[in-house]
Structure 1
Amino acid sequence: MIVVEYPTREPDRPTAPGLQDILLELVRREPIFHRPELGTTREDFERSTAPDFWETGASGQRYSREYVWATIEQRQLATPQDPPQRDPWKTSDFQLREIAPNTYLLTYTLQQPDRLTRRLTIWQRTNSNWTILYHQGTVVTE
């Protein structure tokens, strides 16, 4: 009988030591669009997303920047809060990789009450501002 040994399924995903401060900065911004302390207005949204921003949801559907804003706006109207509260979601397993000058791929796990997803956001630092270029969620099935 031949036994084939498979390598470890999970990839080694270390964050370089020189990126730890940036990692901590970006962790405080996730999950995106669910941090009221970072702004809730259209102007805040436009400042934090690239003009050609889009995302792929956990459903596999692609969403334009305008569609994402409309969804955020609807959420705010549906659940008025004073002051806005954070969602009770748990984030974990953050990893950061620099993919181009001042551009970073942030990955993490998001636990919501009804599902577990893997998330990625591509962030770019412009001057003193962070801008989201792309975001994606993938449902974990096991």
Structure 2
Amino acid sequence: MTAPDFWETGASGRRYSRAYVLAALDERYKAPSAEEWETSDFRCQELAAAVYLLTYLGSQRPARRATIWQQGADGWTILYHRGTVVQDP
């Protein structure tokens, strides 16, 4: 679901390429964690025609997360993702 030029800014401020993120996800799926992740405080805002910003709070390492999605003929695609650690959720 990621665009070919997808990139992510991690909570550390580092920039991660699509290839790096997909490889990290592959590693996580090899040994799934029993931890359950909870999410809350969802908001969705239209940025442009068929482009939306989805924000939410994640419970695992409390962080505000922001993902930019684009709807196209083939479905939804993620263009960008950002995680920012919350000091006091």
TM-score, normalization by structure 1 = 0.58
Residue 88 of structure 1: how far off its partner (Å)? 0.7
Specify the alignment match of 1:94 in structure 2: 42
Letter in 2 for 1:100: A
1:38 alignment partner in structure 2: none
Q: CA RMSD in A?
A: 1.7
Work out whether 1:71 is the aligned partner of 2:24: yes
Larger radius of gyration: 1
Give distance in 1, aligned partners of 2:78 and 2:34: 20
Structure with the bigger percentage of helix: 1
Shift of the 119–127 alpha-carbon distance from structure 1 to 2, 3 Å rule, reads same
Within 5 A, what are the aligned runs for 1:58-137?
A: 58-77=11-30, 79=31, 88-112=36-60, 115-137=61-83
Distance 1:97 1:132 in 2: 15
TM-score by structure 2 length? Answer: 0.90
Q: Tell me, which stretches of 5 or more residues in structure 1 are unaligned?
A: 1-47
- Structure 2: runs of 5 or more not aligned: none
Structure number with the higher strand fraction is 2
Deviations 1:79-118 (A, max 9, x none): 16xxxx8851110001111001000001110001xx2100
Inter-partner Cα distance in structure 1 for 2:34 and 2:16: 23
Local SS of the residue matching 1:88: coil
